[in-house]
Amino acid sequence: MSATIQSIEAILVDIPTIRPHKLSMTTMGVQSMVIVRMKDSDGIEGLGEATTIGGLAYGAESPESVKLTIDTYFKPQLIGQPSENINTLRVMLNRSTRGNNLAKSAIETALLDLQGKRLNRPVADLLGGAVHQHIPVLWTLASGDTAKDIQEALGLIETRRHCDFKLKIGSRQLMDDVRHVAAIKDAVGESASVRVDVNQAWDESTAAKGMAELQAAGIDLVEQPTPMKDYAALVRLADKFHLPILADEAVADAKDLYTLAAAGFSGAVAMKIAKAGGPARALEQATVAQAAGIGLYGGTLLEGTIGSVAALHAWSTLETLHWGTEMFGPLLMKDDIVVQPLNFHDNGVDLPTGPGLGIEIDEDKLAHYRRQA
């Protein structure tokens, strides 16, 4: 008899950030996550996470709406179902529910963790096997203050925690942002890669001016300079500059990436398990990108350890991540709810090796940080 799903709990958890994290659309001082605990009839537990940035400032799903979707819509469909056939359960949820990819990602992650623990294999093995055990991770400088960002970057380079940096820009006047970025690039020098994320804040003509300035300043990559739906602008800008563009908000899943590639986009894509609806779904984008000659990047919605590790298992199966990853979410938070935090060293992070995700919840920490009703 195959094991069936017995219980699903979606828990809201709020953990303060180590410093304000300033993005073009919001400033974060706390990260709110939805932690999923799914138990089957053999008593095995699968963990999942859905997290987004700044409530509803980044996208259409909030932590609160993810919890509601799981509690009200997914739970009644999943309870009593065999837990092993993840594809069948995914088809079922996709038939009953449009969108809601963050919630779907948390469920797919919990099912993969459950299956990995049942088979005594890491999640990466369920996805075909890890090609890499140590994965590069950049750091986002986003204090909003140039001097503080420089100090932060130099400290991280010195300890070899990170050698690549992403700067969040777009909320200030263009030339103020350009001066900020150029000063940081100057301070960290040639060996550090500096990229920017505009989070859709520019119109096309501002982006053209901005990219010319950033190209001259030695910046390596410009992420989502223009509004997400404006595919034609991304294609024109990618044509105009040798400074490559990273598509983030524009591309949630493989279909979006195919559409953008077919329109003539060249550059790179930020894969995110949350945008795609889960680690296995995110890897579908990698296949399209590889076929279209588009570079790969492992993106985050600033998940905590559970969500970051789920993504790391997926990224570890890829031969080449042209632009590395940004799975630093746990480092941006003041504390963690897992027993064994990730090991960040040598400009990257180690893939956990235990069965499933390879993560254990710290019950006291979870009790401390869970949101009181």
Site string for ligand MUC, 240-269 (x = CB under 6 A): --------x---------------------
Q: Distance between CA atoms of 171 and 201, rounded to whole angstroms?
A: 7
Q: Which of ligand MUC, Mg ion, none sits in contact with 289, Cβ below 5 to 8 A by type? A: none
Alpha-helix residue ranges (DSSP H) falling in the chain: 63-68, 75-78, 86-96, 101-119, 123-126, 146-158, 174-188, 204-216, 231-240, 254-262, 273-276, 279-292, 305-315, 329-332, 363-369
Binding of ligand MUC by 308 (CB under 6 A): no
Binding of Mg ion by 326 (CB under 5 A): no
Catalytic residue numbers read 168, 326
Residue with Cβ nearer ligand MUC (140 or 317): 140
Cα 284 vs. chain centroid, distance in angstroms? Answer: 15
Residue with Cβ nearer Mg ion (113 or 223): 223
Ramachandran assignment for 199, one of left (phi > 0), alpha (psi -120 to 50 degrees), beta (any other):
left
CB under 5 A: which stretch of 5-13, 61-69, 190-198, 349-357 binds Mg ion? 190-198
Instruction: With H, G, I as helix, E, B as strand and everything else as coil, classify residue 213.
Output: helix
CA distances to 169, 190, 250 from 230, in Å: 19, 33, 8
Q: How far is the CB of 55 from ligand MUC (least distance, A)?
A: 14
Instruction: With H, G, I as helix, E, B as strand and everything else as coil, classify residue 72.
Output: helix
Q: Distance between CA atoms of 197 and 140, rounded to whole angstroms?
A: 9
Tokens (6 digits) for 231: 């595919």
Q: How far is the CB of 302 from Mg ion (least distance, A)?
A: 10
Tokens (6 digits) for 143: 């204090």
Residue with Cβ nearer ligand MUC (78 or 289): 289
Q: Distance between CA atoms of 71 and 58, rounded to whole angstroms?
A: 23
Residue with Cβ nearer Mg ion (108 or 248): 248
Q: Distance between CA atoms of 284 and 295, rounded to whole angstroms?
A: 14
Site string for ligand MUC, 280-299 (x = CB under 6 A): -------------------x
Binding of ligand MUC by 326 (CB under 6 A): yes
Q: How far is the CB of 126 from Mg ion (least distance, A)?
A: 28
Binding of Mg ion by 40 (CB under 5 A): no
Binding of ligand MUC by 196 (CB under 6 A): no
Residue with Cβ nearer ligand MUC (142 or 314): 142
Binding of ligand MUC by 61 (CB under 6 A): no
Q: Distance between CA atoms of 329 and 349, rounded to whole angstroms?
A: 12
Binding of Mg ion by 113 (CB under 5 A): no
Cβ-proximal residue to ligand MUC, closest one: 140
Ramachandran assignment for 163, one of left (phi > 0), alpha (psi -120 to 50 degrees), beta (any other):
alpha
Tokens (6 digits) for 60: 């259409």
Q: How many other β-carbons are positioned within 10 Å of the β-carbon of residue 352? A: 23
Q: Distance between CA atoms of 226 and 323, rounded to whole angstroms?
A: 20
Q: Which of Mg ion, ligand MUC, none sits in contact with 326, Cβ below 5 to 8 A by type? A: ligand MUC
Cβ–Cβ < 8 Å for 354, 120: no
Binding of ligand MUC by 300 (CB under 6 A): yes
- Strand-pair category, 245-247 with 221-223: parallel
Binding of Mg ion by 248 (CB under 5 A): yes
Binding of ligand MUC by 140 (CB under 6 A): yes
Q: Which of residues 98-117 bind ligand MUC (CB under 6 A)?
A: none
Residue with Cβ nearer Mg ion (168 or 281): 168
**Site residue total, ligand MUC (CB under 6 A):** 11
Q: Distance between CA atoms of 35 and 291, rounded to whole angstroms?
A: 34
Residue with Cβ nearer ligand MUC (142 or 237): 142
Binding of Mg ion by 197 (CB under 5 A): yes
Binding of ligand MUC by 336 (CB under 6 A): no
Q: How far is the CB of 248 from Mg ion (least distance, A)?
A: 4
Residues lying near ligand MUC in the complex (CB under 6 A) are found at: 53, 140, 142, 168, 197, 199, 248, 299-300, 302, 326
- What does the binding site for Mg ion look like in residue numbers (CB under 5 A)? 197, 223, 248
